Structure formats: structure tokens, C-alpha cells
A and B are shown apart, each in its own frame.
Chain A
Amino acid sequence: MIIAQQKPIKDIAAMIADCKKVLLVGCAGCVTVCLSGGEKETEVLASSLRIMRRLQGNPLETVTYTATRQCDPEYIEALENLVKNVDAVVSLACGVGVQYIAERFHDKWVVPAQNTMFVGGSTAHGVWEERCGLCGDCILHRTGGICPIIRCSKSILNGPCGGSQYGKCEISKDVDCAWQLIYDRMKALGKLDKLLEIQPPKDWSKSRDGGPRKAIREDVMIG
């Protein structure tokens, strides 16, 4: 899922400093799961912003709503009446949600309350780690199910580099060397010989560098 982290409240407050009334829109999708933009966080943020502004002698009125998902137009439609009466919309979704709201309500000031960080999963309660680089051309079958694109700090396809020591990456003792993990796993699977094949340069045109990507499922398209 998408992992996001709320921006510092002073940064969010600064983006709506000249507003009297704002709509805060949470998202019941990924950001609810990673506890940064669900219904609860939306209410807490609204309340914090109100308190902050009251202390500044410049009260703020807030309206809150949590969309099922902000990455689907049908759930954004439901905001129409609420959006009309506010000076700005604060989206607590990932960057997709912010853009969807801005696109739908193009004359409204829409700001992000979150920093959208990565695609990952939880490794312990309250800990999320990046697991996928969204490169558009999965190679996990060649690397024992461990992604070197995102988990190796140099995205090396023929690793490990010379900075790997004691199973850790040169950038930090808290970061596992992806290639040590790959090596250990391939060894356990009896497939070390696979690592001797020279992996060719990656086709990054399927990744971010190829411009915005599109996925189409004609079987579910309407009209």
C-alpha cells in the first residue's frame, strides 16, 4: 500500500493561513491503514488547526469528511456540496487524492496534508518499510523475491557493491544490504548460479522516467 506521513501542523497551517473555513478530507484507503489520513487523523488535524488558530486570535472553521477513496472520481463527487462553502480543501490522502480533488474542483485552493512516501508494508506495529520501486518491469523472479531497485540504495542489478558489510548497506547500519538478502535467499534455494548471469541495463521507459503511466482494462470499461 501507499505509505504517507502527515506534514508538520505548522506547514499545513501556513498553507491555509488566509482561509476562514476549510474542508478537511480524509481517505479510508491506504492512509487509513498507515494511520496518517483516516477519519481519526482527519478529526485530530481539524481540531489541532482550530486550536492553533484560536490561540492566534484568528479562528478557523473546519468541516470534515472521509472519502471511501480519493483516487476514484465517484467518491470525490460526494464532496461537491461541502466544497462550495469553504475557502480551501485540505486533503489527507496521498498525492493522487490531492490531485483528484484539485482536478474536480479546479477553482478551489487544494492543499496536501501529507507527504506521500513510498509503496511498502508493515514490518512491526507502527513500522512501515518500502518494498517496491514501482519500476513497471518486475524482476523479483531473478532476485529471490527481494527488490534491488528499491532496497539497494544504488539500485544495482548485479550487486552487491563494495559497500556491503556485515549484511548492512554502506548508507546506514540500520539498512539491510539488499544484495546480502538476495545472496542468502538464492543460496538457500540452491540458485546461486543465477546471480552469475550479467543482468542487462534496465528499461526505465516502463518506470517514472517514461512519463505518466496508464493501465487499461478494456473488459471493465464502460461505453
Chain B
Amino acid sequence: MKTESKLQKLLDSGHFAVTAEIGPPKHASAHGIRHHAHMLKDYVDATNITDCQTAIVRLSSIASAVHILDCGLEPIVQMTCRDRNRIAIQSDLLGAYSLGVRNLLCLSGDHQKFGNEPSAKNVYDIDSIQLIYLMRRMRDEKLFFSGEPIKEHEPRFFIGAVANPFADPFEFRVARLEKKVEAGAEFIQTQCIFDMERFERFMEMVRERGIHERVHILAGVTPLKSWRAAKYLQTSVSGMIVPDDIVERLKKAEDPKREGIEICIEQIKHIRNIPGVHGVHIMAIAWEEVVPEIVERSGLFPRPKVE
């Protein structure tokens, strides 16, 4: 199904896509989001708007997406299953579509334990695979989650999901990715890749099953600012693998921030040559201003234009 998503047009026409991520602020001003949107708009094809990432209360992803649209950039709204039941999810997504959002990323969401409201009651009424399946059905079969027909104006999102090649059980990760594709995911963004060897093995298994021909895979990268940041991801964030040589390289660097950018550019250049990878997703957590340089120096600028 063709949607009005520019990202879909780019990917379907064989371009190597570039997406980035903007984390909404912990306050009620859109000033920072708009600043980042203006900065990124010529350098990326679309930006994810995180949905209260790490379960921290932030400006709503849908409201942020409207600001991004207003700045001439295409948003990808992230929708987690953590905070909403199926009534709220459908309502919010109908609203998002009505406001011009065309890309949706379905994910379960970080557990509330990590955020600033650890005593919150979580929801998890449906899981991410069910969300993908139900949104696809909403669009293609014009049915609400309950099965009731949508009489008119069904939301036609380009539907995405995430994959984490670094979580366990590793052997099941590709199968789970395939399950997401079966459910209806059309593009996949991966967790930040630092362990390139493991990602290569993951992609080999993806190609063996032919999954790369059924879905667009965008590989996740993150520029690191310091060896401490690398160490933190290595030791304190579940589902991440950061090899020791990256920590060491940043430790030895005279200018760790520069080195972090260099590593990221090297990774993107490497990733571009992995068969089956259709794009890169840059998650410059609270460091959005380095994205233009990374895109440019990775040879991904200017971005292609689509009608």
C-alpha cells in the first residue's frame, strides 16, 4: 500500500535513507524542537519523535510532530504500548494522522521503572507486534482494533518497528523481526550498533530468510561524546553491546567528541556496504547538532528529492 510518506517513496525507489531522532523536551516549549528541525531538515529524510523515552515525561510526540511538520521536516511518530490502552492508541493515532503525520513507529516502550515516574501504573494492553498488526489492518482493511469498520478516512501510515540485534536470545532476534514483518511492519530501525560483527551476523541471518526483500532495514547509530558514555551503555543499559575497543579508543582520544563523530562516520560507511541495509538511523541523544556533519561526511548529502 502506497502512503503519502516521503520516507516510503524514498525507500521504495531504492534510495539509502537517512533518519535521525529528536527527543522532545521536559517542558512545554517547542523552541528546541523547532531549532533542531530547522537544523536537520535538509540533512535527513525524516526524524523520529520519541514517545517519552526512557519513560520520562516529555512534550508529547504527536504535538512535537506537528511542530516538526511546520518546520518542513517529515516526522516519524513513535508510539509506545506502555502508556495507552487500545482506545487511547487509536484515538491518538487518528489525531496524529489528521494533523499530517504519515510515519508511525510501533514499540513496546521502556519500562516505567527507568523514568521520572517509577510508581506509575503501566498499561501494556497490547504489545508492539499487535500494534503493528492492528494498525496495518486499520489502514488496509479499514477496521478498528475491535473489528468495527472505519466508515471513512482511515489513517494511512507508513508503519515501522524496531529490532534489537543485541538483545537475547540472539538466535530468536531474526525470527522476531520476521514476526514483525509478518504483522505488517514496512520499515525497521535497529538499536544503536556498536558491535558491528554481531550486526553483520544478524544481517546474514536476515538475508538467509529473505527478510531484507520484504522490509526496509535502517541501521541505528549513535555518536558517543566520551568513554564514560560508552561505558555507561556497555554496563548499564540492557540490550546494548559496546565492544571494549570503542571504549578504549574514546579513552585514548585527545578530543573524545571529535573521535565519537569519527567512529560514527566510519560505522555509517561500513553499514552502507552491508547488503540488505536500506538506510541509517542516527540517534544523537541530546547531541542533534552533530547530525548534519555526520550526514555530510558520510557521503549522504545532499538528500535525494522525491515528488
- Report which A residues bind B (CB closer than 8 A): 153-171, 177, 180, 183-184, 192, 195-196, 198-202, 204
Contacts and interface: CB of A to CB of B under 8 A. Distances in A.
Given A157-B130, A171-B111, A201-B145, 7 more contacts: A158-B127, A162-B191, A163-B110, A163-B111, A177-B168, A180-B168, A202-B126
A154 B108 contact: yes
Contacts of A167: 168
Top 9 A-B pairs ranked by shortest CB distance? A162-B164, A170-B238, A158-B129, A156-B127, A155-B124, A163-B238, A201-B126, A162-B239, A162-B167
Interface in B137-165: 145, 162-164
Contacts of A169: 238
A29 to B, nearest CB: 28
Contacts, number: 99
B168 A165 contact: yes
Given A154-B108, A166-B168, A160 B127 contact: no
A153 B133 contact: no
B82, B109, B113, most chain A CB atoms within 10 A: B113
B205 to A, nearest CB: 14
Contact of A154 (B82, B134, B164, B239): B82
A201 B113 contact: no
B178 A196 contact: yes
Interface in B115-140: 122, 124-130, 133-134
20 contacts: A154-B81, A154-B109, A154-B124, A155-B124, A156-B127, A157-B127, A158-B127, A158-B129, A160-B168, A160-B172, A162-B163, A164-B168, A165-B166, A165-B167, A170-B111, A183-B169, A198-B130, A198-B133, A201-B145, A202-B125
Contacts of B108: 154, 156, 161-162
